[in-house]
Amino acid sequence: MKRTALFLSVALLSVHASQAQTGLKVHISADLEGVAGTVTREQTGQNGFEYQKAREWMTREVLAAIEGARAAGATEILVADSHGNGQNLLIDMIPSGIEIVRSWPRPLGMMEGLDESFDAVIFIGYHASSSNAAGVFAHTITGAFTEVSINGIAVTEAAFNAAIAGHFGVPAVMISGDDAVIEEARSILGELEGAVVKHSYSFNAARTLTPEDARALIRDKAQKGVERRAALEPYVVETPVRLDLTFRRHLPAELLSYLPSVERTGSHSVRFVGEDMIVVTKFMEFAATALSGITE
Ligand SMILES: [Zn+2]
């Protein structure tokens, strides 16, 4: 038994070593609010009249990103389904050779599965942050937060997740969503490729591309982004990392402040300092998941 295990691990190590030399690994984190056509809970909520259709739009946008990444040479692609219940993607539509992260909770949140062996990350279907006055479905992680800041800078999910990638030395190379999220992400992350698939008029209205036109744009930008990966700097935040959370409700801030590692900074806000983005992300996952049902 032991010998077999040893043999297997040596074989796995050598496979990994050869991939490290020749492979190109891409992580795709996929959300739904920033997908073309998506404007209200009729598309994003599981009981919405168009949710089943929106799952297909989301899946096809991910497929377009996969095509673009493969055209740029990607040999391994991992997709993290990162909206709602984490089970939106229609996985029968995804081609052989791709792996998919599903459901919650997971320690790395929307970036689960990422590590330092990856070469690039792509954000599909992303939306503006809760600190942004513009943007369809502008929110950060959950509607429970009115602001999420890292080291004093209010962040989008894109910036938060890019900081996780930065921990592993991996650059964010492309993002799709509405005009507001592309502008907001670029203001922090620099010139990653952006596919604007809709123009926001309000929290629940937009002028959108057709799904077909959105896919063509995403395919093109994903390819360009992966091709430009060496020119794009990973987003590395200073450590230790200071996470400030402001809640819509009073009680989550109070409950978290009972933990000795958490400081209450206001009636609705707390501060957590973690040694790096991994520790901070696990804390965020706990805060977002365990306290999400609180309505006081
Ligand atoms: Zn989101």
> What is the band of 191 on the pLDDT scale with cuts at 50, 70, 90?
very high
Q: Is the pLDDT of residue 295 over 90?
A: no
CA of 292 to the centre of ligand 1 (A): 14
Which domain covers residue 44, as residue numbers? 23-142+156-236
- Whether residue 264 is contained in a domain is answered as no
CATH of the domain at 52: 3.40.50.10780
CA of 5 to the centre of ligand 1 (A): 41
CA of 86 to the centre of ligand 1 (A): 11
Q: What confidence score (pLDDT) does residue 50 get? A: 98
CA of 195 to the centre of ligand 1 (A): 16
Q: Is the pLDDT of residue 3 over 60?
A: no
SS (HEC) of the chain? CHHHHHHHHHHHHHHHHHHHHHCCEEEEEECCCCCCCCCCHHHHCCCCCCHHHHHHHHHHHHHHHHHHHHHCCCCEEEEEECCCCCCCCCHHHCCCCEEEECCCCCCCHHHCCCCCCCCEEEEEEECCCCCCCCCCCCCECECCEEEEEECCEECCHHHHHHHHHHHCCCCEEEEEEEHHHHHHHHHHHCCCEEEEEEEEEECCEEEECCHHHHHHHHHHHHHHHHHCHHHCCCCCCCCCEEEEEEECCCHHHHHHCCCCCEEEEECCEEEEEECCHHHHHHHHHHHHHHCCCCCC
Q: What confidence score (pLDDT) does residue 65 get? A: 98
> What is the band of 289 on the pLDDT scale with cuts at 50, 70, 90?
confident
pTM of the model: 0.92
CA of 206 to the centre of ligand 1 (A): 17
CA of 138 to the centre of ligand 1 (A): 9
Q: Which residues of 30-69 are buried (b: 16+ CB within 10 A; e: fewer)?
A: bbbbbbbbbbeeebbeeeeebbeebbebbbbbbbbbbbbb
Mean pLDDT across the chain: 93
CA of 54 to the centre of ligand 1 (A): 15
CA of 83 to the centre of ligand 1 (A): 6
- Whether residue 43 is contained in a domain is answered as yes
- Whether residue 265 is contained in a domain is answered as no
- Whether residue 283 is contained in a domain is answered as no
- Whether residue 163 is contained in a domain is answered as yes
Q: What confidence score (pLDDT) does residue 290 get? A: 82
How large a percentage of the chain has pLDDT more than 70?
93
- CA-CA-CA-CA dihedral for 12, 13, 16, 21, to nearest 10: -140
| pLDDT tens by residue, 243-282 | 999 999 999 999 999 999 999 999 999 999 999 999 999 9
CA of 140 to the centre of ligand 1 (A): 6
- Whether residue 85 is contained in a domain is answered as yes
| pLDDT tens by residue, 124-169 | 999 999 999 999 999 998 888 999 999 999 999 999 999 999 999 9
CA of 41 to the centre of ligand 1 (A): 13
- Whether residue 295 is contained in a domain is answered as no
CA of 211 to the centre of ligand 1 (A): 19
- Whether residue 279 is contained in a domain is answered as no
| CA–CA distance, 105 with 4 (Å, rounded to integer) | 34
CA of 268 to the centre of ligand 1 (A): 21
Task: Count structural domains, the chain.
Answer: 1
CA of 207 to the centre of ligand 1 (A): 20
CA of 8 to the centre of ligand 1 (A): 39
Task: Work out the average pLDDT over 198-223.
Answer: 98
CA of 93 to the centre of ligand 1 (A): 22
